[in-house]
């Protein structure tokens, strides 16, 4: 234990000393009043290089899976906060903010819930209890929540995704548009009125039919006083030529509604060989994408957080979800060495102090 601690201290000092001229990401971000964050896995916090890099570079973190239903709510009457409760104190010790992810999603739900054949009334009660218990548990500790995640269907324009929460059987609001989402935001707000409440989605980063739908929902919520504070744009990128002006225009229209935008899950997946290595040329292209997305965000005062979905290529969902054909998507390589993408992001954060 002690040996582990000293390794951690030595690593922290080494990282701090690694670059006497260049500040860390978080030092640059702090000066500009920006949050720079990453998704984290609790089982890795005991790895010295992981913990030291995390604490040194980021002022924001978000549990990658540890706050999802299957982890937090393993049986109808059981809440288990063990995993997430390893992450939240780490953030407090290192003066980092915590984003919570996610209260309502169609994936990573426990079998007792998905196979329980509950009625809409029962489901509404179960969901209300979950939202209020989880948000209440972290009241004052989680500053922002992804309340609802990926509720729009990317295959059918203008349609809500058909899920247990929406219409299968739904929580008493089946096929009534966003009204089930509204309920969730109101429950979360009751449990922690100070927490910022976000709607988070994928493939809605640029101007497109899906982001149009989300925009219409957020505008409606704002007009009617539904407590929504922000929109999370996930930013999982695998096309190496994203439409930056369109992403910027989208951020522009959301922030004009008076809500914040967070980039919540950024990674840029590259083709990799059997050892997980990407081409040098692609790593440069990747750096430009990080640079341009960060710059697009920071050109809007309402875009207040840039978060990546993990930070070391040693641990990322991309490998297992692409049968190892893609990877190298993050800011640090598998040995925690900063990549060109790291330098690109830091240089944008450095300039952010002038915004
Ligand atoms: O729970 C089992 C565990 O019991 C088992 O030991 C382990 C062995 O591999 O697998 C565990 O389940 C994995 C789970 O993460 C928890 O670690 C699943 O196989 C794995 O598929 C699952 O992947 C997560 C994925 O969401 C689920 O769709 C990724 O880690 C996570 O990065 C990813 O995150 C999502 C965001 O929440 C929402 N936006 C998209 C993003 C990427 O898909």
CB distance 108 to ligand 1 below 6 Å: yes
Reference 298, options 250, 261, 332, 333; nearest CA is 261
Residue 1: its pLDDT value, please?
40
As a whole number of angstroms, the distance between CA 338 and CA 283 comes to 12
Rounded Cα distance, 171 and 165, in Å: 6
Place 19 in a pLDDT band, splitting at 50, 70 and 90: very low
Q: Model pTM?
A: 0.94
- pLDDT, average across residues 1-24: 53
Number of other CB atoms surrounding residue 175 within 10 Å: 12
- Residue 43, ligand 1, Cβ within 6 A: no
Q: Could you confirm whether 150 is annotated as catalytic?
A: yes
Measured from the Cβ of residue 321, the count of other Cβ atoms closer than 10 Å reads 11
SS (H, E, C) 100-112: EEEEECCCCCCHH
- Closest atom of ligand 1 to CA, residue 316: 32
| Residue owning tokens 């209260």 | 103
Mean pLDDT of the chain: 94
Q: Is 64 a catalytic residue?
A: no
* The domain defined by 2-351 carries CATH number 3.20.20.80: yes
Q: For 151-174, write each residue's pLDDT tens digit.
A: 999 788 778 999 999 999 999 999
pLDDT at position 284:
98
The residues near 44 (Cβ < 8 Å, ≥ 6 apart) are 50, 51, 315
Q: How confident is the model at residue 243 (pLDDT cuts 50, 70, 90)?
A: very high
Residue 3 pLDDT > 60: no
pLDDT for position 20: 46
Mean pLDDT score, 76-84: 98
According to the model, what pLDDT value does residue 11 have?
A: 54
Q: Is the CB of 265 under 6 A from ligand 1?
A: yes
Domains of the chain, residue spans: 2-351
Q: 234 CB less than 6 Å from ligand 1?
A: yes
Selected catalytic residue, list 150, 182, 205, 213: 150
pLDDT digits (tens, 9 = 90+) for 52-78: 999 999 999 999 999 999 999 999 999
Q: Residue 156: its pLDDT value, please?
A: 81
Task: Give the per-residue pLDDT at 158.
Answer: 78
- The pLDDT score that the predictor gives to residue 355 is 58
Task: Please identify, by atom number, the ligand 1 atom nearest to the C-alpha of residue 320.
Answer: 21
């Amino acid at each position: 234990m002690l040996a582990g601690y000293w390794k951690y201290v030595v690593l922290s000092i080494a990282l701090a000393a690694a670059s006497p001229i260049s500040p860390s990401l978080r030092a640059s971000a702090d000066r500009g009043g920006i949050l720079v964050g990453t998704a984290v896995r609790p089982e890795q916090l005991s790895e010295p290089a992981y913990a030291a890099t995390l604490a040194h570079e980021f002022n924001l973190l978000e549990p990658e899976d540890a706050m999802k239903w299957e982890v937090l709510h393993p049986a109808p009457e059981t809440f288990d906060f063990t995993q997430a409760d390893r992450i939240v104190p780490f953030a407090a010790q290192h003066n980092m903010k915590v984003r919570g992810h996610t209260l309502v999603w169609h994936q990573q739900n426990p079998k007792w819930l998905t196979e329980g054949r509950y009625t809409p009334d029962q489901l509404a009660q179960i969901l209300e209890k979950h939202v209020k218990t989880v948000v209440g548990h972290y009241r004052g500790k989680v500053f922002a929540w992804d309340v609802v995640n990926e509720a729009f269907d990317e295959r059918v324009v203008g349609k809500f995704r058909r899920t247990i929460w929406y219409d299968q059987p739904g929580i008493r609001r089946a096929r009534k548009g966003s009204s089930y989402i509204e309920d969730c935001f109101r429950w979360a707000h009751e449990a922690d009125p100070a927490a910022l409440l976000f709607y988070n989605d994928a493939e809605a980063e640029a101007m497109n039919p899906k982001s149009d739908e989300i925009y219409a929902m957020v505008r409606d919520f704002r007009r009617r006083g539904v407590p929504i504070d922000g929109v999370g744009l996930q930013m999982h990128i695998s096309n190496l030529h994203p439409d930056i002006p369109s992403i910027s225009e989208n951020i522009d229209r959301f922030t004009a509604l008076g809500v914040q935008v967070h980039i919540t899950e950024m990674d840029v997946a590259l083709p990799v060989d059997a050892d997980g290595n990407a081409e040098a040329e692609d790593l440069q292209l990747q750096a430009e994408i990080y640079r341009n997305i960060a710059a697009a965000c920071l050109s809007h005062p309402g875009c207040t957080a840039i978060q990546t979905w993990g930070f070391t290529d040693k641990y990322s969902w991309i490998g297992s979800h692409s049968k190892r054909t893609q990877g190298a998507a993050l800011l640090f390589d598998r040995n925690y060495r900063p990549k060109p993408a790291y330098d690109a992001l830091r240089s944008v954060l450095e300039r952010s102090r002038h915004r």
